[in-house]
Structure 1
Amino acid sequence: MGDDPFAGCKDISIDNRSPFFINEGGVLFDKDRRFLIHYTASLSGERYEIPETVEWIGKHSFYKCENLKCVRISKNVKFMGNNAFSDCFNIHLENESPYFAYEGGVLYNKEKTTCMHYSMGSGVKDVKLADTVRTIGRNCFWNCYMIDSIEIPKSVRQIGYNPFANCRNVHLINHSPFYDIKDGVLYNSDFTELVCCPSTASMNGTVTIPDTVINIGRNAFTGCIGLKRLVIPGSVKYISRGAFSECSNLEDIEIPATIEDIGDWCFNKCSSLRQVAIPSNIDVKPNTFNSCGAEVIRK
């Protein structure tokens, strides 16, 4: 069984008859209880202590567990999949594993070189990342709407695809020489990639993209509910997957003829978008306009 196949299934009841898995009170493990695969979101308990047999917490394993307020990471946990605690809006972590570090509401690897997850239940609204961090992992602040600011230290060299998506109140403070901020929008240092546009940077209805930008990053504008109109400059060649997903008030976007690729889910849930003109050479992927309804015009 791969990444949690039951993630987001809030009311599911797992009837396990396989000798290779164990279901204990709505929590699914492998037969040796070393791999925690899935914690059922509808469970009413507010605290969960991960068994000391567990070495691996799976990807999305606690996804949308809104009743949980505290999870204790036991001392033998060595590995953790991406987004293990994503959309757990009330959760606070207690870490006993020597393979991880937890401070200021942020979960790191033990060397504190990788930022893995922010716990919304920690109550920390102004996040200052450790000055040892080199990598901010993908989606680690996803949907953390209650954060006011995140301070990126000068040690950061890599930021995974938009870890700040749907952080609707956040202001980014950057000290890294590998990135830069202009008008509240995060770019790489030479302004060839737009990494992230927080919602706060789009509240006037539009964003001016520099004509040096070649790539609009994955989920770069996700959740920018203030964005209404956008003109993409002719320098841009690539619009990555999910770049404008959940921009529910986006009404008008101009895409230049220079575009070479538009990622899938790019306009997912852009419910106000009625028409989009796309160069005729671009292959429109099946999910590019999922839950959007916009008319696609070839030019």
Structure 2
Amino acid sequence: MSSSSFIVYCENLRSVNIPESVDQMGDDPFAGCKDIKIDNKSPFFINENGVIFDKSRRFLIHYTASLPDDYYEIPESVEWIGKHGFYKCENLKCVRITKNVKFMGNNAFSDCINIHLINDSPYFAYEGGVLYNREKTTCMHYSMGSGVKDVKLADTVRTIGRNCFWNCTMIDSIEIPKSVRQIGYNPFANCRNVRLINHSPFYATKDGALYNSDFTELVCCPSTAPIEGTVTIPDTVINIGRNAFTGCINLERICIPENVKFISRGAFSECINLKEIEIPESVEDLGDWCFNKCRSLERVIIPRNLSIKPNTFNSCNAEVIGR
């Protein structure tokens, strides 16, 4: 039997039992369950004071967010820290990555608002509040508790991993070096105060927003970009990327050009002051969670033949008008 991520983000869940029959567990299924208590009966896992490992203690799966400690040293048996393993651990101020850790899933320390790291592993590098792979070709994580507000990425970085600056509202600027060739799902989502300084020939900035080099995809539009509440998207744009406007709280109005075909998952989520938007006939796909928590959105005009996914307007009371 396999345990998947069906429990993730259940903030009101207080306890869960892992029965003897469970022999597999995917990416941290308890991520976001802040106050959960886990009773483990499975011989395939170990619950060590709220920290879940596989039976060999080589794979750290979950660290319970409500644990009171402000320091944690990863056991030297651990070789792999799972995806979202320390998600939203707000009490933690420091985690020591020990010498045998070789692998790390996406967003292992995401939303840990007070954290900084001590790295003893030769498989990673940590400098200026940023965790990289050993060669410093991939940016994996920014530590919210590092105190670094102006982030200058290493000039060896080729890939900025998805979500690695997620919710980092304390950052003032991020400098993207010329070596960068790839940026994952908007890694700067909800960096509300950030100014993006780009040197990469594979990307371009215009009016404070970040695009790919040929301006066919809008990667990120932070809250510093709107002018008097408005953003103008170039008419070359075909795709508004995943979480491109997430947390852009200064956005009130936007004109989407007729060339846009795709508005990706979460594109305008948490744009809390966006009031009205018209989706052009050219759009073929409107992503899930696209207008999540757009609490001021009053009206959305969409093409009649455009399908709406179940969570497109989650926590949003806008009137949806087909034309």
CA distance in 1, matches of 2:106, 2:257: 33
2:145 partner SS: helix
Query: Which residue number in structure 2 is paired with residue 279 of structure 1?
Result: 303
Query: Which residue number in structure 1 is paired with residue 206 of structure 2?
Result: 182
Query: Which residue number in structure 1 is paired with residue 235 of structure 2?
Result: 211
1:200 partner SS: coil
2:224 partner SS: helix
CA distance in 2, matches of 1:270, 1:196: 17
Deviation readout 1:205-259 (Å, 9 max, x if unpaired): 1101011101000000000011111110101111000000010111011211111
1:15 to 39, 54, 59: 39
CA distance in 2, matches of 1:287, 1:254: 18
CA distance in 2, matches of 1:297, 1:79: 48
2:300 partner SS: strand
Query: Which residue number in structure 1 is paired with residue 106 of structure 2?
Result: 82
Query: Which residue number in structure 1 is paired with residue 124 of structure 2?
Result: 100
CA distance in 2, matches of 1:280, 1:105: 48
Deviation readout 1:76-109 (Å, 9 max, x if unpaired): 1111010000000100100011111101100000
CA distance in 1, matches of 2:228, 2:146: 31
Structure 2 residue runs of 5 or longer lacking an equivalent are 1-24
CA distance in 2, matches of 1:226, 1:258: 26
1:67-146 equivalences under 5 Å are 67-146=91-170
Q: Is 2:182 aligned against 1:158?
A: yes
Shift of 1:130: 0.4
Query: Which residue number in structure 2 is paired with residue 61 of structure 1?
Result: 85
Q: Which amino acid in the other structure matches residue 173 of structure 1?
A: I
Amino-acid identity (%):
84
Deviation readout 1:26-57 (Å, 9 max, x if unpaired): 10000110110100000000000000000110
Shift of 1:203: 5.8
Shift of 1:120: 1.1
CA distance in 1, matches of 2:283, 2:274: 19
1:207 partner SS: strand
Query: Which residue number in structure 2 is paired with residue 234 of structure 1?
Result: 258
Shift of 1:268: 0.5
Using the TM superposition, name which of 202-211 and 192-201 deviates more: 202-211
Q: TM-score, normalised by structure 1?
A: 0.99
Q: TM-score, normalised by structure 2?
A: 0.92
Q: Is 2:177 aligned against 1:147?
A: no
CA distance in 2, matches of 1:281, 1:135: 37
Q: Which amino acid in the other structure matches residue 52 of structure 1?
A: E
CA distance in 2, matches of 1:85, 1:132: 23
CA distance in 1, matches of 2:227, 2:99: 44
Q: Is 2:37 aligned against 1:5?
A: no
Deviation readout 1:166-203 (Å, 9 max, x if unpaired): 11111010000000000000001111110000111126
Query: Which residue number in structure 1 is paired with residue 51 of structure 2?
Result: 27
2:193 to 169, 172, 176: 169
Q: Which amino acid in the other structure matches residue 263 of structure 1?
A: G
CA distance in 2, matches of 1:252, 1:229: 6
CA distance in 2, matches of 1:275, 1:146: 32
Query: Which residue number in structure 1 is paired with residue 21 of structure 2?
Result: none
CA distance in 1, matches of 2:241, 2:227: 20
Segments of 4+ in structure 1 off by > 3 A? none
Query: Which residue number in structure 1 is paired with residue 271 of structure 2?
Result: 247
Using the TM superposition, name which of 196-205 and 51-60 deviates more: 196-205
CA distance in 2, matches of 1:145, 1:189: 26
Query: Which residue number in structure 1 is paired with residue 219 of structure 2?
Result: 195
